[in-house]
Structure 1
């Protein structure tokens, strides 16, 4: 256990060796890492565990004590967990050779079991949880599996759809993205024609990303994930301002544009996200079968083959994963077979227990974003009603990344909501 001083606080590093598959404790093991931040004089403060959004991304690396961390460190020690498969925990890369069976062990249930292993190692009877996006999904699983171990739970943009078929979830996300897209087109009236122009150009011409592969129009359209973020209208607007130039009489995409787009469409920084994204919604007896890929064909303007030159709607896509990305993104080539196996898998266990949620003794406070294009508002509210005591901060001030944009304000409001417990 290493410790060091940063920003006037003590940082303590923890590692544990845990089973990859908890049903086979004698089998292969992985390492899970967590970073504790302890304020001065706060060795006896209660512990708050932060569960990162994703799936497939590590906990934040603090470059200062600001945002949501500052107010939480006034009353808690923080434990920043690198979820299994990410960061300094045993990490999944496309070249790591993980099988589909091994990847199947990286869902929320085992993330919660890993957290429990840390709680026991630290000798704590109970602790509190903060989860952003997928981290909130993990909290709902935690409340289903270990309800007596949680003191308080704070969720931001992370109340999952419980008991809802995955196809309905994706219908809702496409519908929310359509509304957001129309708002974007209203505020940047030239953006639609520019998106259509770029996609038509990519269908007719070969443009190569700086990583060497051809950029297709369907892959370009995945940059619409930005519309789910607070500054997304502006960042996309700036990106689309002037994508073309003329090279020896030929219309080409600019290299700085291709650099920006290449960074947006590559999963090199988090290949596990692409491999596991639909699996987080899977339940027993029903394969996901590339739900987002199938459902887009029902949604006018989102179809893979939508013609940018036709008069009908034409949209970018959002937080959706498609099977062809494992062919087109070099960072995903090594996970193609495994992702296909996961998409056909029907033996995933259930992640949520409604009866446990209805009796969980912890008080829960959740920020629910009305316009969230990643976690549908109506399903989040349905899940809130399943908890014994879930207090919701309903707001249209933020997009899905509210915790990053205004984290201090949000966590203070959530904490005030549970302060009488």
Structure 2
């Protein structure tokens, strides 16, 4: 493996160094095979050249690490005691981003992008840097990566911070999505209480889209089922207000015909397109593959088979073909990914064949191991009570498998809490770790 680093350069008073490392695409079964260049950006505060490392693992999956223009949010307090390593996860950013070029995308390639592979990339970088132990910070899917990291390599980690990212260890994809729909139903009902006009407006828009052609700025027709995926906002801190503003006045009359306003269509297009991060959709369910399965069943019944799409039919209000006019309950959907999105979203069409194959892929392992977590160092985690992405009950069950996990449980924030008070949350978690 070849490790290179750039000459130091100073931005916003901090030293930046860029690291690249040649790593194997398949470190488990073909470590001498095809490689790619892994990228990480190191940020060193003034006088912090000898600080320990804190590796940031981005939420997602399928997003690169942040490109900071300041040391705001959680980075501020973190840089008081750490050097930061912002790692672009494989397939994203400068770590061989997988772009929308159909001939380059295969099911086999997508299957190599899960959390356990990201862990092996990080381990390779740790060894290349000559670091005995380092610390980890992960938001959402980044916490899934940390749980996988501590399952496989607890000896490599000094401590870890997780926010909204304690994954289930013992529920299959089917059961996990049943939980997320239940959480989403609760949040949706809370939203309707706070924004009384929303139910009628959601139904009106969906009915309109079933009976009229409305085109998004990218040229494709907007369907009612795709419109409903804006419910992902219900899991964000400002989501209720953002949805209320989007829904408050969506129509105009053009030559006697009701049409959606162009600014509303523009806003919807920006939210609904996966152009910026198509991998989020393409590999989303794969992160649950093999989880909660008996060892004897791995490789036999471990395919996710579009679990979110199948489970929606079990929960009243979420059925794909629910009638927006007559259905007793008619809900928006959340972070769930559906197979038809690979036809309707132009950004996802090149990924369709590979994603369909991935849904049928039989996983040979779970990315987690409770025995490894029982040997993990001290960890602190923020868990959000009403989280629609990572259900509270599953997070609490996983917390009990850790050797020493310090919990901060709150309903003050939603899943994106670090986007609202990253510094405050990091400081709370850091104080919890120090208190031993």
TM-score by length of 1: 0.99
Q: What is the distance in 1 between the residues matched to 2:435 and 2:134?
A: 17
Q: Does 1:136 align with 2:143?
A: yes
Q: Does 1:220 align with 2:253?
A: no
Q: Does 1:90 align with 2:96?
A: yes
Q: Does 1:366 align with 2:395?
A: no
Using a 3 Å threshold, how does the CA distance of structure 1 residues 222 and 137 change in structure 2: closer, same or farther? same
Q: Extract unaligned runs of 5+ from structure 1.
A: none
SS in 2 for 1:105: coil
Q: Deviations along 1:98-133, whole A, 9 cap, x unmatched? A: 211111111111101111111111111000000000
Partner of 1:169: 176
**Aligned residue runs from structure 1 range 21-420, under 5 A:** 21-22=26-27, 23-95=29-101, 97-283=104-290, 284-285=298-299, 286-360=302-376, 362-420=377-435
Q: 2:317 touches 2:327 (CA, 8 Å); kept in 1?
A: no
Shift of 1:311: 4.4
Q: 2:181 touches 2:312 (CA, 8 Å); kept in 1?
A: yes
Q: What is the distance in 1 between the residues matched to 2:108 and 2:327?
A: 45
Shift of 1:349: 2.0
Shift of 1:31: 1.3
Shift of 1:27: 1.4
SS in 1 for 2:397: helix
Shift of 1:359: 1.9
Q: Extract unaligned runs of 5+ from structure 2.
A: 291-297
Q: Root-mean-square deviation (CA), in Å?
A: 0.9
Q: Deviations along 1:338-362, whole A, 9 cap, x unmatched? A: 11111111134220111111122x1
Q: What is the distance in 1 between the residues matched to 2:375 and 2:363?
A: 27
SS in 2 for 1:83: coil
Q: Deviations along 1:205-229, whole A, 9 cap, x unmatched? A: 0111110110000000000001100
Q: Deviations along 1:174-198, whole A, 9 cap, x unmatched? A: 1111110011111110011111000
Q: What is the distance in 2 between the residues matched to 1:311 and 1:165?
A: 29
Runs of 4+ in 1 over 2 A off after TM superposition: none
Q: Deviations along 1:21-65, whole A, 9 cap, x unmatched? A: 112122111111100100011010000000000000011111211
Partner of 1:12: 17
Alignment coverage as a number of residue pairs: 420
